Amino acid sequence: MDMPDVSFIVCTRSRPRRLLRAVGSIARTIETCPDLRCEIVVMENGSQPELRLDAEEIQSVSRPAECRLLWLDGGGLSVARNAAMAAARGQLFIFTDDDCTVSLSYLSELRKHLEDEGQDAIIGGSVIVPDPEDQHFTMKDAEEPQVYDPSWHPGGFVQGCNFAMTREVSLRIGPFDRRFGAGTPMRAGEDTDYLIRAHGVGVPILYFPDMRVNHYHGRTTRDEVKRLHRDYSFANGALYAKHLVQHPWLMRHFYYAARNAAKEPMGGALFDRNHDLSWSSVVKQNIAGAVAFAVRGGKKRP
Residue 301 scores a pLDDT above 80? no
Q: Give me the pLDDT at residue 206, please.
A: 98
Residue 2 scores a pLDDT above 90? no
Q: Give me the pLDDT at residue 283, please.
A: 98
Mean pLDDT of 170-180: 97
In the chain, domain spans = 6-215, 222-299
Residue 302 scores a pLDDT above 90? no
Q: 3-state DSSP call for residue 287?
A: helix
Residue 64, preceding peptide bond in cis (omega within 30° of 0): yes
128 pairs with which residues across the strands? 214
> What is the pTM for the complete model shown?
0.96
Where helices occur in 174-250 by DSSP H, the ranges are 190-200, 222-242
Pick the CATH number of 6-215 from 3.30.70.3280, 3.90.550.10, 3.90.1150.10, 3.40.1280.10: 3.90.550.10
Burial class (CB in 10 A: 0-12, 13-18, 19+), 101: buried
Tens-digit pLDDT profile for residues 177-218: 999 999 999 999 999 999 999 999 999 999 999 999 999 999
Residue 272 scores a pLDDT above 60? yes
Please provide residue 166's backbone torsions phi and psi, each rounded to the nearest 5 degrees.
-80, 165
- Residues, the chain, total? 302
> How far apart (Å, rounded) are the C-alpha atoms in residues 288 and 282?
10
> Where residue 296 falls among pLDDT bands split at 50, 70, 90?
confident
166: number of Cβ within 10 Å = 19
Mean pLDDT of 173-179: 97
For the chain, report the end-to-end CA distance as a whole number of angstroms: 34
Q: Give me the pLDDT at residue 300, please.
A: 56
130: number of Cβ within 10 Å = 10
Tens-digit pLDDT profile for residues 13-67: 999 999 999 999 999 999 999 999 999 999 999 889 899 999 999 999 999 899 9
Q: Give me the pLDDT at residue 297, please.
A: 61
Residues whose CB is less than 8 angstroms from the CB of residue 234 and which lie 6 or more positions away in sequence, other chains included: 186, 187, 188, 285, 286, 288, 289, 292
Residue 6 scores a pLDDT above 70? yes
Q: Which helix (H) or strand (E) holds 164?
A: strand 163-166
Q: Which has the closest alpha carbon to 26: 64, 53, 62?
A: 62
